[in-house]
């Protein structure tokens, strides 16, 4: 094992895959000369040259479309959005072309493309730069959606995403790029659609993904002091969901709390709750709790932002609620 930053894990994954397959290239704003807005492509221009690490104008619709077209013609593009808030400018290419071309062409065209970049809030960035669109993309058939929470998972999942023959939305976080953790030496892949039990427990299942899962870890540590044992599932992939892992844990603990940084209406947690009540209702000893942001645009004020975002105290309160404590 070695200890590296999240941004380095992303860079290693892309670089290893580009060495292996010449059809892979990286395109986006500031990915080349500036080494990436978050330095996640540091050194890649020097190694692979300007034909495969390509700076673009500020035109997400344009370079997303170039990526989709080249994927249909045998390439495997990695399209970086400086944030997925900006992907809204290019979302027509993602939803109406990348996600649908395989079906609409009767299988004549695949679209092996990765759209990657940060999602969610990252401090005082205002309402238009603090949005989490995981559930939006997951709602669209034809897309796979990956949201890693640590460097090791990020590297293995990104390599698998690049090799996948379908379009993959790969969502990171500005606030995780500096995170350091152990990553295996040598090549490894983590299959898409497989959740991971990050912490074994017996009293309650906490389901989460992405950077917000850190609040679940904090809550679990505090609850352990009170003798409450929390099992934490990191979904890692939200489309497809690992229903088997979720149901297995629910049948073990009989209580569920879902933590998701997203607006509360019609999100990933809602889908999980429906599936649990459809397939494991008789195993539940309490109603399922879900924790989300407030149902408003993200505020700029640090005081209001702290109230808007879920934290470990919210998790503790929800766990105690499902335990009737």
217 forms bridges with which residues in the sheet?
none
Burial of 125 (0-12, 13-18, 19+ CB in 10 A): middle
Task: Look at residue 56 and give its three-state secondary structure.
Answer: coil
Q: Quote helix, strand, coil % in the chain, to nearest 5.
A: 40, 20, 40
Strand order across the 76-80 sheet: 53-55, 24-28, 76-80, 114-118, 168-172, 144-146, 237-239
Which of 8, 17, 29, 129 is catalytic? The answer is: 129
Angle (CA) 153-120-91 rounded to 5° is 95
Residue 289 catalytic?
Answer: no
Angle (CA) 231-185-76 rounded to 5° is 90
Which of 29, 60, 80, 174 is catalytic? The answer is: 60
Q: Which two tokens stand for residue 30?
A: 């500031």
Rounded distance between C-alpha atoms, residue 65 and residue 228, angstroms: 50
Rounded distance between C-alpha atoms, residue 314 and residue 316, angstroms: 5
- Nearest CA to 237 among 209, 269, 198? 209
Neighbours of 154 (CB within 10 A): 31
Q: What is the dihedral of CA 249, 235, 209, 266, to 10 degrees?
A: -90
Residue 226 catalytic?
Answer: no
Question: Catalytic amino acids?
Answer: 60, 129
């Amino acid at each position: 094992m070695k200890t590296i930053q999240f941004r380095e894990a992303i860079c290693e994954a892309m670089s290893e895959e580009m060495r292996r397959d010449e059809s892979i290239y990286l395109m986006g704003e500031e990915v080349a000369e500036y080494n990436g807005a978050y330095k996640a492509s540091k050194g890649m221009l020097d190694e692979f040259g300007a034909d495969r690490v390509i700076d673009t104008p500020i035109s997400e619709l344009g370079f997303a479309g170039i990526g989709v077209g080249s994927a249909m013609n045998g390439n495997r593009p990695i399209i970086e959005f400086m944030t997925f808030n900006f992907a809204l400018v290019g979302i027509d290419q993602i939803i109406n072309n990348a996600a649908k071309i395989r079906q609409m062409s009767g299988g004549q065209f695949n679209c092996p493309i990765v759209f990657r970049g940060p999602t969610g809030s990252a401090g005082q960035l205002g309402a238009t730069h603090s949005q989490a669109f995981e559930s939006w993309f997951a709602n669209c058939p034809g897309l796979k959606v990956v949201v890693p929470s640590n460097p090791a998972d990020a590297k293995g999942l990104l390599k698998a995403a690049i090799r996948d023959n379908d379009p993959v939305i790969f969502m990171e976080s500005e606030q995780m790029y500096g995170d350091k953790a152990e990553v295996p030496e040598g090549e490894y892949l983590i299959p898409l659609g497989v959740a991971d039990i990050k912490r074994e427990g017996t009293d309650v299942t906490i389901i989460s993904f992405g950077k917000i899962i850190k609040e679940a870890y904090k809550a679990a540590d505090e609850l352990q002091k009170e003798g409450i044992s929390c099992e934490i599932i990191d979904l890692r992939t939200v489309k497809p969901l690992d229903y088997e892992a979720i149901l297995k844990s629910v049948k073990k603990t009989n209580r569920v709390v879902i933590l998701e940084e997203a607006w509360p209406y019609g999100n990933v947690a809602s889908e999980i709750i429906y599936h649990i009540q459809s397939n494991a209702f008789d195993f539940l000893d309490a109603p399922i709790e879900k924790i989300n942001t407030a149902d408003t645009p993200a505020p700029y004020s640090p005081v209001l932002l702290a109230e808007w975002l879920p934290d470990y105290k919210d998790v503790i309160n929800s766990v105690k609620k499902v335990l009737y404590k």
